[in-house]
Amino acid sequence: MTSGLSLALPGAGVDRGAVLQAFDALLQPERFKDYGPNGLQVEGRREIRKIVSGVTASRALIEAAIMAGADAIFVHHGLFWRGQDGCVTGWMKQRLALLLGHDVNLFAYHLPLDAHPDCGNNAQLGQVLGLQAVGRFGDQDLGFVGGWADGLPALTASEMAQHLTYRLGRPVVSVLASPDPIQRVAWCSGGAQGYFEAAMATGAQAFITGEISEPQAHLARECGVSFFACGHHATECYGAPAVASQVAARFGLAHEFIDIANPA
Ligand SMILES: [Zn+2]
């Protein structure tokens, strides 16, 4: 054995602490000010053989992970957020009872998973959409800005709406603000509609995120910058499997991504 992160013996699991260390080393949660705890949110069994990744630690995902034989679940949206009342009742009791009753670990990483330059939500979303980042913007540098990847022509806003719908396989809410070809695009996964003005300040002619609120439609029209709301879930379902599969491969663990469909 030459390394503390050596591969597991066939059939043997890997210590929970080593897996946590690997996630922390990759995602560097200490660099972020976040809305909830990043890392191991619920402690399960000590040995991990299989990781199931997903977007949100919903009851449906936890049940599916248990059925799939997971020892650990890795998600973007964990269980604990600032502003909760802290009571273990109702839906929280049900989710925790499943995890604790089946001794399953829950790892959750929020902003660190959005931000990672290669396997984070924004980096992976850019790849899916054919966008190449040249810079970052916004609070904690979470937003990405760039242009079309090699070989892709600049699209107009209405072509871009079709392109996004096709690549993401779902309807997109579009505010088409200008007929000109779009050279510079800013994007930030999830509920980043509040980043729109910071995105416009980068010189982008279009902004892609998960959600839109009422004011952004007016801002888009008045400033001539197109806005595309592609779904919170749809823009955040690439980071978790990218990170979990990388860490699982490093330890020789099994990994499966389970998508719990969400129209939002
Ligand atoms: Zn999110």
> What is the structure's pLDDT at 2?
40
pLDDT tens for each residue of 23-53: 999 999 999 999 999 999 999 999 999 999 9
Q: Which amino acid is at 176?
A: L
Residue 76 CA, ligand 1 centroid: distance in Å: 7
Contact between residue 108 and residue 77 where contact means Cβ atoms under 8 Å apart: yes
Residue 23 CA, ligand 1 centroid: distance in Å: 18
Closest among 114, 95, 137 to 210, alpha carbons compared: 114
Residue 47 CA, ligand 1 centroid: distance in Å: 29
Percent of the chain predicted with pLDDT > 70:
96
> What is the structure's pLDDT at 3?
44
Residue 2 CA, ligand 1 centroid: distance in Å: 38
Residue 241 CA, ligand 1 centroid: distance in Å: 15
Residue 124 CA, ligand 1 centroid: distance in Å: 14
How many degrees, rounded to 5, is the angle at CA 48 between CA 43 and CA 50?
115
Tokens, residue 38: 């990043």
Task: Please tell me the distance from the alpha carbon of residue 19 to that of residue 72, in angstroms, as a whole number.
Answer: 10
Calculate the CA dihedral of residues 170, 107, 192, 264 and round it to 10 degrees: 30
Residue 133 CA, ligand 1 centroid: distance in Å: 20
Mean pLDDT of 88-106: 98
Residue 200 CA, ligand 1 centroid: distance in Å: 21
> What is the structure's pLDDT at 151?
80
> What is the structure's pLDDT at 11?
59
Task: Please tell me the distance from the alpha carbon of residue 82 to that of residue 61, in angstroms, as a whole number.
Answer: 22
Residue 185 CA, ligand 1 centroid: distance in Å: 20
With 50 as the cut, is the pLDDT of residue 6 above it?
A: no
Mean pLDDT over each residue of the chain, to the nearest integer = 95
Question: What would the DSSP string read from start to end of 174-226?
Answer: EE---SSPB--EEE--SS-GGGHHHHHHTT-SEEEES---HHHHHHHHHHT-E
Task: Please tell me the distance from the alpha carbon of residue 116 to that of residue 243, in angstroms, as a whole number.
Answer: 9
Residues flanking ion ligand 1, Cβ below 5 Å: 190, 236
Residue 260 CA, ligand 1 centroid: distance in Å: 14
Which residues fall within 8 angstroms of residue 17, CB to CB, at 6 or more apart? Answer: none
Task: Please tell me the distance from the alpha carbon of residue 224 to that of residue 239, in angstroms, as a whole number.
Answer: 31
CB atoms within 10 A of CB 123: 20
Residue 236 CA, ligand 1 centroid: distance in Å: 6
The DSSP bridge partners found for residue 77 are 56
pLDDT tens for each residue of 65-96: 999 999 999 999 999 999 999 999 999 999 99
Residue 231 CA, ligand 1 centroid: distance in Å: 10
Task: Please tell me the distance from the alpha carbon of residue 23 to that of residue 89, in angstroms, as a whole number.
Answer: 30
Which residues fall within 8 angstroms of residue 41, CB to CB, at 6 or more apart? Answer: 57, 78, 79, 80, 106, 107, 108
Q: What is the pTM of this model?
A: 0.94
Task: Please tell me the distance from the alpha carbon of residue 120 to that of residue 111, in angstroms, as a whole number.
Answer: 9
Residue 74 CA, ligand 1 centroid: distance in Å: 14
Percent of the chain predicted with pLDDT > 90:
94
Residue 55 CA, ligand 1 centroid: distance in Å: 8
Q: Which amino acid is at 79?
A: L
Residue 202 CA, ligand 1 centroid: distance in Å: 23
Residue 24 CA, ligand 1 centroid: distance in Å: 19
